[in-house]
Structure 1
Amino acid sequence: RAMTLTPYGRPVWRALLLAGAALAAAALAAGRAGLALPPLLAALAGAAFFRDPARRLPKGTGLFTAPADGLLDDLALLEGEAAQAALPGCNRVHRIGLFLSVFDVHVNRAPCDFTVTRDHHRPGGYRDARDTAATRFNEAHTLIGTTPGPDGAPLPLAVRQIAGRIARRIVCAARTGDTLARGQRYGMIRFGSRTELYLPAIPEIEIVAPRRARATGGVTVLARYRTGSPAARP
């Protein structure tokens, strides 16, 4: 099956492929066939970073799936001012953080059906994305929104894209007022980064993904409404 590349990185992967093809053609024209293969392989390897494989989404309602591929290296409970800063109006918030290496798929997906009520870009530094301090200091783009809660009332949540030492280009196509479906693609971060999901720490929400687990964007269930909640149906 042919590799699908994300349109969020089209200017970069197109330039890589064109450059690789041009260098290979120049090598062939010069009678140096042995030098034609390396630039093609390098271009394909670079373009592979922008791959966007199809995913089979899990069935059911009341699920919160991974907003990106990566290593689940941060499960934190925020309280007080830290919680309010992450998710306004909430005094206790779950932060679920994923580290994306250069080998992971970097396309971001909506963790659930939600409506964006605010999108915010924060300038910042470029610390190593493996350092959880990057969430406070690095350039980031945050989508804050609401999803139907267990009782049908709007439940707040947020998802944040964070640039890293290598990844310095955040692409986010979602804007305030947009409605996203669970698993829907909405952006990417180029070349190594972090993605975080923020959920209210309420009894109706259960965090199910263990720390250090490998997550697949749109597929791995990170949290869900507890059994018995109105929204937790098979």
Structure 2
Amino acid sequence: MNNHYPHPILAREGWPFITIAIVVSLLVTWLAGWWSIPFWIVTVFVVQFFRDPARVIPQDPKAVLSPADGRIVVVEKAMDPYRKVEALKISVFMNVFNVHSNRSPVDGRVDEVVYNAGSFLNAAVSKASTENERNAVLATLADGTKVTYVQIAGLVARRIVCYAKVGDQLARGQRYGFIRFGSRVDVYLPLTAQARVTIGDKVSATETILAELA
């Protein structure tokens, strides 16, 4: 895994889509003139969807950072389905207008990466956590704290990308994945963690602190 992946203006996952959109729009412009306007609107949407700006990374070692842009839809005590323990669950829902690049919420070693095929329900609903297509990263911090973060496909999402592999040492704010076209990320923390967000809050990947570890 490339720990020094640069934060480009546009995510590399989007380059093929952006290229196709521009080529089609240019072709329609050449053939039909003003009738190409809807194609250019779609092109603008595709470009904005795949934007991938650099972010300022908080350095508090106890801070758990948001892994995604979006809105908080869950802050509750729940069962971590991967570790089979009760945890503080915080979920971030991404709509199609949010940045969809995913960043590591903590500094930690990747112990396991678990992929599950599934449905494509609205990612904002609670059962999406257990029924939708998803990819979980189970990480351990230097002090032994266990954190699980799960990429979940949504209603129109059809592609989860995760670059993290077992044994990787992820740094907080490091880009580790991407989900295309609407999705969600669940974070499971020890019950001793203190949430710093509430349901409905808008959050930014890396820059927003979701919780503080004890």
> Could you tell me the TM-score, scaled by structure 1's length?
0.83
Q: State the 1:208 CA deviation.
A: 1.2
Check the 8 A contact 1:19/1:43 in 2, yes or no: no
Q: Structure 2 CA distance, aligned partners of 1:186 and 1:25?
A: 40
Q: State the 1:186 CA deviation.
A: 1.0
Aligned with residue 122 of structure 1, among 91, 103, 116 = 116
Using a 3 Å threshold, how does the CA distance of structure 1 residues 210 and 178 change in structure 2: closer, same or farther?
A: same
| Alignment partner, residue 70 of structure 1 | 70
| Alignment partner, residue 43 of structure 1 | 43
| Alignment partner, residue 82 of structure 2 | 86
| Alignment partner, residue 56 of structure 2 | 56
Name the amino acid aligned to 2:70. G
| Alignment partner, residue 157 of structure 1 | 147
Q: Structure 2 CA distance, aligned partners of 1:156 and 1:24?
A: 54
Q: State the 1:92 CA deviation.
A: 2.4
What root-mean-square deviation, in Å, do the aligned CA atoms of Structure 1 and Structure 2 show?
Answer: 1.7
Name the amino acid aligned to 1:61. P
Q: State the 1:60 CA deviation.
A: 2.4
> Could you tell me the TM-score, scaled by structure 2's length?
0.90
Aligned with residue 21 of structure 2, among 3, 7, 16 = 16
Unaligned stretches of 5+ residues in structure 2: 1-7
Q: State the 1:158 CA deviation.
A: 0.8
Unaligned stretches of 5+ residues in structure 1: 227-234
| Alignment partner, residue 109 of structure 1 | 103
- Partner SS for 2:172: coil
| Alignment partner, residue 198 of structure 2 | 210
Check the 8 A contact 1:86/1:198 in 2, yes or no: no
Name the amino acid aligned to 1:87. R
| Alignment partner, residue 184 of structure 1 | 174
Check the 8 A contact 1:17/1:44 in 2, yes or no: no
- Matched pairs, number: 207
Q: Structure 2 CA distance, aligned partners of 1:124 and 1:87?
A: 19
Q: Structure 1 CA distance, aligned partners of 2:123 and 2:155?
A: 7
| Alignment partner, residue 11 of structure 2 | 6
Q: Structure 1 CA distance, aligned partners of 2:23 and 2:129?
A: 36
Q: Structure 1 CA distance, aligned partners of 2:117 and 2:206?
A: 27
Q: Structure 2 CA distance, aligned partners of 1:160 and 1:142?
A: 4
Q: State the 1:59 CA deviation.
A: 3.2
Name the amino acid aligned to 1:43. T
Name the amino acid aligned to 2:200. R
- Partner SS for 2:26: helix
Q: Structure 1 CA distance, aligned partners of 2:195 and 2:163?
A: 28
Check the 8 A contact 1:116/1:175 in 2, yes or no: yes
Q: Structure 2 CA distance, aligned partners of 1:115 and 1:13?
A: 34
